[in-house]
Copies of this chain bind each other. A is one copy, B any other.
Amino acid sequence: MNDARPAEDRLAALERRLRDLEDQHEIAQLVAAYGPLVDGGEPDLVADLWTEDGIYDVDEITMTGRDEIRAMVRSTNHQGWIKGGCAHFLGPVKVTVSGDDAVAVCHSLMVINRGGSFEEAPEFVVRRATAHHIELTRTAEGWRVTQRTSRVLDGREEAPALLVRGATGRPA
């Protein structure tokens, strides 16, 4: 049985629905790239996930703009994690898109190698479980992070609150 709607309406509906899915997919891929890129030690590619003046607000430090994010990746501290063995392991994101803005939420685990060679069965430990609330905007180059707010899940009230605001698409 043929659809009674005019082809024009069906095309427009498909284009709208497909764009919604593409937006959500692109945002999920952007967030999924963070872990491999930061553990790979790539300052420029990590910073490029944010807008030029994007904010990365972690418990200990707030980085403002790509230069400060690059500096974090290049820091002795971060390079030390990589040299010791480290996984910034992110979970699947829940994404809420509203036009040209979006909010995403996920957990992450920072897992580090406690030392020893592979042959000696090295043990890894979870250094931190963290809540991430991520605000994004659509730019000419695609979706970019405008503000990522990350709080360790150690009982501080801010962390569960961020998870709820992220899962319900509200700002941090």
Cross-chain contact B29 with A122 (CB below 8 angstroms): no
Given contacts A28-B92, A167-B36, A167-B37, contact A11 B12 (CB under 8 A): no
Cross-chain contact B109 with A89 (CB below 8 angstroms): yes
The docked-state distance in angstroms from the alpha carbon of A161 to that of B94 is 28
Binary interface profile of A, 105-122, with partner B (CB < 8 Å = 1, else 0)? 111010101001110011
Q: Would you call A32 an interface residue if the criterion is a C-beta within 8 Å of the partner chain's C-beta atoms?
A: yes
Q: Would you call A33 an interface residue if the criterion is a C-beta within 8 Å of the partner chain's C-beta atoms?
A: yes
Q: A21-B21, A124-B127 are in contact. List 10 more A-B contacts (CB 8 A).
A: A3-B8, A17-B22, A24-B29, A39-B160, A89-B109, A90-B91, A92-B92, A122-B152, A122-B154, A124-B129
